[in-house]
């Protein structure tokens, strides 16, 4: 038996490859089918099943393309109604994969069709693949069901029943393999761990402690941030189907001349510059938005670019074109129309206009702070801001920048920071595109600001190290 967790950090997503005696099963694959096909081919195994734990909201699953390429059967749990061929399993239906058995357990709560998959070897329960029902240290949020009139409280009640009736009675020795780790918006505070035993989670996971259903519902629904706007769109793509990823990549990685690039820009395409923040700051094409490949690139694109069909032009380092396009496709942004051939270097050589954003060190910022009253935008999440922030800073979360941008004054000078410098440059580029001229990025973010003598307000109930 082989069980491999295939973890993708930029989406905080875990897919699984299970293999036994020449047969394989995949659980919750990402959009590009090649990693799973390559593993099966190398092992001489046939992909028999592609198990989906639910209609994912935070990424476009690769189940459809993988089924076409491998001949494997797509499997969903009860209540799923996809617009393509799939096996809709019954609760506790058993599937054979080589010498293994995989039992589907219907565990509604995160969504109505949410299911978990119990792995059995020689009659013994070995592992459970919990999707977004149970994470390490957390449970799935109950407000993402599509085409449902149920409230988040209704779904949280279902989640309580699923956990207590289906998962908690299982052998404590089984390994829990969830669909996500820290950084995913599918749960409030998911652990950095990506697997654990049920025994440990019974002790460590707040949601599995002894409490009434009413207490559970109140605790799980309290403090849920609004989901990123692309979540509902991804869930619908996973339900209805999508274009083959190979076609999306072929179109998106087309190298465009400067003339072709400008023509697309003038027809409404958005310029997405995927280079590192400090490189971007030193020079970029006017109206570009910087979302670097070195961070949670696809998640921020999905959060900030509201139109999932928006035409997108890519500016990136040479050789990064395919990565930039395929990571967009993972969250359903399939309308990339090409990449600038020669990148910014050729653009500058041709004498084209280039803009810059001033970026200063925390030490330089400290000197400016001591001389004058300045406007500070802290673009971290409210929970981060509450733990500690610069005295007089305004919390202006990047997540909601498009909705709150008009609360700022374009003629003012703003100093912008986040935790480490990634989000602040995204915010600065969006503000720049929207007519703000006097912007200063603080490189290194709050992590480096804490090393200065700037006045910082700490919440005594929170630890900055959390």
User: Contact, 418 vs 427, CB < 8 A?
Assistant: yes
Report domain extents, the chain. 2-233, 243-349, 358-458
Residue given tokens 């910082």 in the structure block? 456
Taking the C-alpha atoms of residue 237 and residue 458, their distance in angstroms, rounded to an integer, is: 43
Residue 341's pLDDT is what? 97
Of 354, 353, 378, whose CA–CA distance to 365 is shortest?
A: 378
In three-state secondary structure terms, 117 is: strand
The CATH H-level (homologous superfamily) assignment of domain 2-233 is Ribonuclease Z/Hydroxyacylglutathione hydrolase-like (3.60.15.10)
Query: What does the alpha-carbon distance between residue 441 and residue 222 come to, in Å, rounded to a whole number?
Result: 34
The CATH number for 243-349, chosen from 3.40.50.2000, 3.30.360.10, 3.40.250.10, 3.20.20.300, is 3.40.250.10
Residue 443 corresponds to which tokens in the numbers above? Answer: 């490189």
Read off the pTM: 0.93
Measured CA to CA, the distance from residue 417 to residue 432 in angstroms comes to: 15
For residues 237-252, b (16+ Cβ closer than 10 Å) or e, as one string?
Answer: bbbeebeebeebbeeb
At 315, give phi and psi (nearest 5°): -115, 120
Q: In whole angstroms, what is the distance from residue 462 CA to residue 466 CA?
A: 8
Cα separation, 53 vs 116, in Å, equals: 6
Tell how far CA 208 is from the center of its chain.
25
243-349 and 358-458: identical CATH topology: yes
Other C-beta atoms within 10 Å of 391: how many?
10
| CA dist list (Å): 359 to 21, 252, 269, 271, 362 | 57, 31, 27, 21, 10
CA-wise closest residue to 138 among 102, 104, 170, 183 = 183
Contacts of 48 (CB under 8 A, 6+ apart): 23, 24, 25, 72, 73, 97
Q: Please state the φ and ψ torsions of residue 235, each to the nearest 5 degrees.
A: -60, -40
For position 225, what pLDDT does the model report? 86
Pick one of 3.40.470.10, 3.40.50.10740, 3.40.250.10, 2.40.110.10 as the CATH number of 358-458: 3.40.250.10
Cite the beta strand spans of 209-360 per DSSP E. 255-256, 270-273, 289-290, 312-315, 336-340, 358-360
Mean pLDDT for each consecutive 10-residue tract of the chain (466 residues)? 96 97 98 97 98 97 98 98 98 98 98 98 97 98 87 97 98 97 92 97 96 97 91 96 97 98 98 98 98 96 97 97 98 98 96 97 94 93 94 96 97 97 98 97 96 89 37
| CA dihedral (424, 429, 434, 436) positive or negative | positive
Q: Which residues does 6 contact at the CB level (< 8 Å), separation at least 6? A: 14, 15, 16, 17, 35, 36
Closest by CA to 48, choosing from 91, 87, 13, is 87
Q: How far is CA 95 from CA 90, 106, 341, in A?
A: 11, 14, 49
3-class DSSP state for residue 93? coil
Q: What angle do CA 86, 87, 88 make, to 5 degrees?
A: 110
Q: What is the DSSP string of 383-438?
A: HHHHHEEETTPEE--GGGHHHHGGGS-TTS-EEEE-SSSHHHHHHHHHHHHTT---
Determine contact, residues 333/251, Cβ cutoff 8 Å: no
CB 50 within 8 A of CB 66: yes
| pLDDT (0 to 100) of residue 445 | 97
Residue 460, pLDDT score: 56
């Amino acid at each position: 038996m082989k069980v491999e967790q295939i973890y993708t950090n930029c989406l905080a997503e875990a897919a699984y490859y299970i293999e036994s005696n020449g047969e394989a099963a995949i659980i919750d694959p990402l959009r590009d089918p090649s990693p799973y096909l390559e593993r099966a081919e190398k092992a001489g195994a046939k992909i028999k099943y592609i198990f989906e734990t639910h209609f994912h909201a935070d990424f476009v699953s690769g189940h459809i393309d993988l089924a076409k390429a491998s001949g494997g059967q797509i499997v969903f749990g009860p209540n799923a109604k996809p617009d393509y061929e799939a096996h809709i399993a019954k609760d506790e239906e058993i599937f054979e994969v080589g010498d293994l058995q995989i039992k589907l357990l219907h565990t509604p709560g995160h969504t109505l069709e949410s299911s978990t998959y119990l792995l059995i070897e020689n009659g013994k329960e070995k592992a459970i693949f919990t999707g977004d029902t149970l994470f390490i240290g957390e449970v799935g949020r109950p407000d993402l069901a599509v085409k449902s009139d149920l409230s988040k409280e209704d779904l949280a009640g279902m989640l309580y029943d699923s956990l207590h009736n289906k998962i908690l009675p299982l052998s404590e020795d089984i390994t829990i393999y969830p669909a996500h780790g820290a950084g995913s918006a599918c749960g409030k505070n998911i652990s950095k761990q990506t697997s654990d035993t049920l025994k440990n989670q019974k002790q460590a996971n707040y949601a599995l402690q002894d409490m009434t259903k009413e207490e559970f519902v109140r605790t799980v629904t309290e403090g849920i941030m609004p989901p990123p706007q692309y979540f509902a769109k991804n869930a619908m793509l996973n339900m209805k189907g999508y274009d083959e990823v190979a076609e999306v990549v072929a179109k998106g990685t087309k190298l465009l001349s400067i003339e072709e690039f400008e023509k697309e820009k003038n027809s409404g395409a958005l310029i997405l510059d995927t280079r590192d923040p400090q490189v971007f700051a030193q020079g970029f094409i006017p109206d570009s938005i910087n979302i670097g490949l070195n961070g949670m690139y696809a998640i921020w694109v999905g959060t900030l670019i509201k139109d999932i069909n928006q035409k997108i032009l890519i500016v990136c380092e040479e050789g990064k074109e395919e990565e930039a396009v395929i990571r967009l496709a993972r969250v359903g942004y399939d309308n990339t129309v090409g990449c600038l051939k020669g990148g910014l270097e050729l653009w500058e050589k041709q004498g084209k206009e280039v803009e810059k954003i001033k970026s200063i060190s925390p030490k330089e910022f400290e000197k400016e702070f001591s001389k004058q009253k300045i406007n500070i935008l802290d673009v971290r999440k409210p929970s981060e801001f509450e733990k500690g922030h610069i005295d007089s800073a305004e919390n202006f979360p990047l997540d909601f920048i498009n909705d709150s941008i008009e609360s700022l004054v374009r003629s003012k000078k703003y100093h912008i920071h986040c935790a480490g410098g990634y989000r602040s440059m995204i915010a600065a580029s969006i503000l720049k595109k929207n007519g703000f001229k006097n912007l200063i990025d603080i490189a290194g973010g709050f992590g480096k600001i804490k090393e200065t003598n700037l006045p910082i307000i700490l919440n005594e109930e929170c630890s900055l190290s959390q």
